[in-house]
Amino acid sequence: MALQGVYQLINDRNTKLERELNKVTLPINECPHCGCAIFYRKDYMSGSSWYYASNTIDVENGSMYDGLKTTYGKWWHCDDCHKRVFEDEDVE
């Protein structure tokens, strides 16, 4: 298998693992105001990052956000009506 194929397999596996690690348990299943089942938390980031690119090989950008300072939002909002629905401390 070509080296590029190996990099792609590793990247795919890491992406799936990240999705599993980033799963959260929300305190509600739907918005009490409109019934939407999708929520978001607004986070703020500052700093700088590096994005790598090449015309000849696949490059890894999995760490491009490591240099950013993140301040996590306190409230989660409904994706449809954008109302506050629960606090971040209620998320497991």
For residue 78, the model assigns a pLDDT of 96
| pLDDT tens-digit readout, 50-83 | 899 999 999 888 888 888 999 999 999 999 999 9
**Residue 2 confidence (pLDDT) above 80:** no
Listed residue (80, 86, 84, 88) closest to 37, CA to CA:
80
Q: With a cut of 50, say whether residue 40 has pLDDT above it.
A: yes
Torsion of CA 72, 63, 16, 87, to 10 degrees: 0
The one-letter code for the residue type at 19 is R
- Please name the residue ranges forming H helices in the chain: 3-21
Closest CA to 33 of 84, 91, 92, 71: 84
Q: Report whether 30 contacts 85 (CB < 8 A).
A: no
Q: According to the model, what pLDDT value does residue 36 have?
A: 95
Threshold 0.85, pTM exceeds:
no
Tell me if 48 sits within 8 A of 65, measured CB to CB: no
Give the separation between CA 60 and CA 58, rounded to whole angstroms.
Answer: 7
1 pLDDT more than 80: no
